[in-house]
Amino acid sequence: MKATIRLTLAGAVSALAAAAAMAQAPAAASAPAALPAGFVAPADPRIQDTAAERVRSQPGNNAPVWRAVRETGTQPAYSSLPGAEQGVLIQSMVQYPGSRLTTAGEAWRQVRNHWIIPYGGALMLVAVLALALFYWRRGPLGGHLPDTGRQVERFTPFERSAHLLNAASFTVLAISGLVLAFGKFVLLPVIGSTLFGWLTYALKTAHNFVGPLFAVTLVIMIITFARDNLPRAGDLGWLVRAGGMIGGKEVPSHRFNAGEKVLFWAGVLLLGGIVVGSGLVLDKVLPGLAYLRGDMQVAHMIHAAAAMLMMALFLGHIYMGTIGTRGAWQGMRTGWVDEAWAAEHHALWLADIRAGKIPAQRSSEPMPAQLSPVEGTR
C-alpha cells in the first residue's frame, strides 16, 4: 500500500514538472531575438511629422500627405497645375446657407443637391400642376365679346422681334438648364449614359453660347417696355381683385395690367438681371474678376436658385400668352388685336386710343388689308 502511494506521488510530481517545462517553452520561443549592435529604434510617430519622417517612423502611413492636402485651403502648397489657385487642392472650411460647416466644395454640393435641386424641382411641378388645374377649372379666359373687325396695333414689328429673340433664347436656356439639373434623374435611366453624355455636352455648349444672346435681348426688352410697365392708378385694385378672379369680372387696365407689370419688374428686371449677371460670371466673360472656385460656386448657387424662380414665374406668362387667354397669341404673332379683345382685357388702353392719347398704329407696317382701324383713330 505504501509503495503504491509513493508511486502515485512520484507520478504527480513528474507530471507537474513536465507541465511547467511546456509552459516555459512558448515564452522562451516568443522572446525577441537579440538586436544587432548599433541598432537605434525609430522615434514614435508624431502628428506633425512630414511625409519623409513618417516613412522612417511608420512606413506605409501617409497621413501627413493627406493632412497637407486638406490644409491647402489656408496654407497653399506646391502644384504644377497653372491657375490662381494652383496650390489649393482642397478648399477651406465654410458654411453656406443650408450646408454644414465643411470644405467649400462639399458645402456647395450640399446646397445644390439638398436644396436647389429638390425644392426647385418641386416648385416647377407645383407651377405646372397649378396651371393645369386652373385650365381644367376655368379654361381659356376672354372671348365673351364678338369681334368688331376693327384692329389696334398691340406690338410693333420691333417689339415682336425683340420678344421673339428673347423668348427663343430663354427657351434654349431653360431646357438645357433643366436637363443639366434633372437629366440624370429623368433621362439617364431611359436613354443610357452614352446618349445622355452627348446630349448634356451639346446642351451645355448651347447654354454657354446662348446666354450672352439672352443678356442682350433682355436689355432690349427692358428698354423697350419699361415705360408702359410703370405703375399707374388702378394697378393696386387689379392686384387686390387678382385681375378679376375675385369677383368674376376682369378689372380694367392700361396696355399692361398689374400682373404683367409685376412679371416685368420682378421676373424680367430683377430675376433676369440676377440670372444674367451670375451667368456671365460662370461664362468668365466679365473683366477684372479672379474667377476662383469659391466665387464660381457662389455664382452657380445664385444662378440656379434665381433661374428656378424665373422659370416658375414665366410658366404663368407663357400660359396666359398662349392657351390661357383667347387672342393673346394672335396679338403677339401678328401684332394686332381686335377692338373687342382690347375692350375686354385692357379697357383703359383702348380708352386712351379712342381719346387720341395713344395712336392706334405706332409702326409703319401696313395694316392687314381685311382689317380697319378703330373708329376715331384715323
pLDDT digits (tens, 9 = 90+) for 77-133: 666 767 777 777 788 888 999 999 988 899 999 999 999 999 999 999 999 999 999
User: Is residue 255 a contact partner of residue 349, using CB atoms and an 8 Å limit?
Assistant: yes
Sign of CA dihedral 182, 187, 189, 193: negative
246, three cell numbers: 375675385
378 pLDDT above the threshold of 60: no
**338 pairs with which residues across the strands?**
151
371 pLDDT above the threshold of 60: no
Neighbours of 200 (CB within 10 A): 18
| 128 CB-near residues (< 8 Å, 6+ apart) | 315
DSSP H or E stretch at residue 153: strand 150-153
pLDDT at 182: 95
pLDDT band per the 50, 70, 90 thresholds, residue 28: very low
325 pLDDT above the threshold of 80: yes
% the chain with pLDDT above 70:
75
Greatest Cα-to-Cα distance within the chain, rounded to the nearest angstrom? 151
Question: Rounded to whole angstroms, how far apart are CA atoms 369 and 335?
Answer: 14
User: Is residue 300 a contact partner of residue 108, using CB atoms and an 8 Å limit?
Assistant: yes
Neighbours of 131 (CB within 10 A): 17
Q: What is the residue whose three cell numbers read 477651406? A: 92
User: Is residue 128 a contact partner of residue 142, using CB atoms and an 8 Å limit?
Assistant: no
Question: Rounded to whole angstroms, how far apart are CA atoms 188 and 238?
Answer: 45
DSSP H or E stretch at residue 306: helix 293-321
Q: What are phi and psi of 208, to 5 degrees?
A: -70, -35
| 328 CB-near residues (< 8 Å, 6+ apart) | 142, 320, 321, 322
Question: Rounded to whole angstroms, how far apart are CA atoms 353 and 375?
Answer: 10
AA identity, residue 71 = E
Question: Rounded to whole angstroms, how far apart are CA atoms 31 and 17?
Answer: 22
pLDDT at 91: 80
pLDDT at 141: 86
Judged by DSSP in three states, 11 sits in: helix
User: Is residue 362 a contact partner of residue 173, using CB atoms and an 8 Å limit?
Assistant: no
pLDDT in tens, 128-177: 999 999 999 888 888 888 888 889 999 999 999 999 999 999 999 999 99
Q: Tell me which of 3.30.750.80, 1.10.274.10, 3.20.20.150, 1.20.950.20 is the CATH number of domain 159-334.
A: 1.20.950.20
- Stretch 310-324: mean pLDDT: 94
DSSP secondary-structure letter at 143? Answer: -
- Stretch 360-373: mean pLDDT: 70
Least confident of 39-43, 208-212, 278-282: 39-43
pLDDT band per the 50, 70, 90 thresholds, residue 243: confident
Least confident of 37-41, 58-62, 216-220, 264-268: 37-41
pLDDT at 48: 60
Question: Rounded to whole angstroms, how far apart are CA atoms 70 and 93?
Answer: 10
Question: Rounded to whole angstroms, how far apart are CA atoms 234 and 211?
Answer: 36
Tell me the pTM.
0.76
17, three cell numbers: 514538472
